[in-house]
Structure 1
Amino acid sequence: MSTTIIAKPLTKAEFAPYGKVIEPYDKEQETPENCYEINNGYAKRHHAIAESKLDGGNVGMSIFCAKKREFPIALSVMEYHPFGTQAFFSMHGQDYIVVVAPAGEPPQSADDLKVFYAKSHQGVQYDANVWHHPLLALGCNSDFLVIDRINGEGNNCHELDINDWQVQIEIDRETDSESDSATKSEINSEHS
C-alpha cells in the first residue's frame, strides 16, 4: 500500500533541525543586523546567512541539471553527506520539493520523512549527515547552483533505496495557488 505525504510550506523554523533556509528578509519587517548596504548604496548584502562546513576537501560550486517531476512524485532514494553541508539554489526561478529526515540512523519509514514545498526565492542548506532526497524540480527542467564539498577524501554520499516504501508526494493545490498569486503580486509591486 502506498503512502501520500502532502508537502508543507518551507519555513526557517520548521526546517531548522535539518539545516538552513536561505532567503531574503521579509521587506515588511525591520532590516536584520546581517543585512547592510554595499557598493555605494546600490546593493544590500545579506551577510553570513549560512556557513558552509566541511571535513577536508574544498568548498566548491557546481550546477546540477534536474529533470522536472510530475505530481504525484514517487520517492526513490534518501542520501546523506558525512563530510560537509550542501546548499541548493534554483537558477530558473522554479519551485521545488525538499524531503528530509534527521541526521544519524537511516530513516525506517515514511513516518520519518518531512516534506517541504520550497518557493523559487528560497534556497536550502542541508547540515552534514542530514538525510535528504535528491532534487525534485517542479514546473520545468531546472538548473540548481550547488555549494558543497569537493576534492576530499572518503565517500561523501551514502544512499538508502526507499522504492519499496511506495511514498508519493503531493501538494495542497488550494494553498499553493493562493500562495503563488500572493508571491507574484509581491514580486510585481517590487519591480514596478
Structure 2
Amino acid sequence: MKTLQMERLTRAAFAPFGDVIELDGARHFAINGGTTERYHDLASIDVTEQGGRPLINLFRAQPRALPVDIAMMERHPLGSQAFIPLRQGRYLVVVAPPGEFDPARMRAFWTDAWQGVNYAKGVWHHPLLALDHVSDFVVVDRGGEQPNCDELPLTEPWRLVFEVSAELVE
C-alpha cells in the first residue's frame, strides 16, 4: 500500500488548496460598543459560478480510527467549500490540486486545536476525517441546479502516516 505523510495544517502549507480558517493572525476589531470581537474575512467564499448561491449546512462526522486509508477523492468544480468545526477537535485533511487528478500531488494535513478549512473551487479533497469523537461542522458551499460534486475512486488506497504519531494517537 502506498503511504502519504501527514503534515501540520498551516496557512502557508495549505495556500495552494484554499484557506485555513483560524483566529491566530486574523484581522480583528471590536464591534457592538466594544462587547464583541470581530475576526474579519477568514476565507474567500466562491460559489456564484453559473448562478450558484451560498448554502450553510451542518455536517456531523463520525470518528475514524487510526490508521486511515484513502480510497476516494472528490471535488466541487463550481464552488468553494468551507468546513468550520463547532468545537475544538482533531480531524484530518487530504487534498490535491485542481485539474486532472494526480495522486503524486496529494498532501495530507492534521489540524491543530481549532482550525477550519476552505477548499478552493475544483480542489480535490477527501470527505471529512474526524478523530476522537462525533464532530459537527458548519459547512458553507454552493447551491444551484448544476451538479457540483465529482467523486473519483483511487486505483489503490493510500495509508496516512504520521511523523508525529504520538501527538495524534494520544
TM-score, with normalisation over the residues of structure 1? 0.81
Q: How many residues align?
A: 166
Between structures 1 and 2, the one with greater strand share: 2
Matched, 1:43 2:36: yes
RMSD: 1.6
Provide Cα deviations, 1:165-188, integer angstroms capped at 9, x if missing partner: 2211133223x26xx9xxxxxxxx
User: Is the 2:61–2:135 Cα contact (8 Å) retained in structure 1?
Assistant: yes
User: Is the 2:19–2:44 Cα contact (8 Å) retained in structure 1?
Assistant: no
User: Is the 2:95–2:106 Cα contact (8 Å) retained in structure 1?
Assistant: yes
User: Is the 2:96–2:107 Cα contact (8 Å) retained in structure 1?
Assistant: yes
User: Is the 1:68–1:136 Cα contact (8 Å) retained in structure 2?
Assistant: yes
How does 1:95-174 map onto structure 2 within 5 Å?
95-107=90-102, 109=103, 111-150=104-143, 152-162=144-154, 164-171=155-162, 172-174=164-166
Question: d(CA) in 2 for partners of 1:170 and 1:71?
Answer: 9
What stretches of structure 1 move > 4 A for 4+ residues in a row? none
**Percent identity between the aligned chains?**
39
Secondary structure, in 3 states, of the residue corresponding to 2:33?
helix
Letter paired with 1:48:
D
Question: d(CA) in 1 for partners of 2:108 and 2:73?
Answer: 12
- 2:67 maps to what in 1? 72
Question: d(CA) in 2 for partners of 1:51 and 1:9?
Answer: 22
- 2:20 maps to what in 1? 21
Gaps of 5+ in 1: 27-31, 181-192
Gaps of 5+ in 2: none
- 1:88 maps to what in 2? 83
User: Is the 1:60–1:148 Cα contact (8 Å) retained in structure 2?
Assistant: yes
Matched, 1:63 2:58: yes
Question: d(CA) in 1 for partners of 2:101 and 2:161?
Answer: 23
Provide Cα deviations, 1:7-41, integer angstroms capped at 9, x if missing partner: 10000000000000010025xxxxx6x31111221
State which structure, 1 or 2, has the greater radius of gyration over its C-alpha atoms: 1
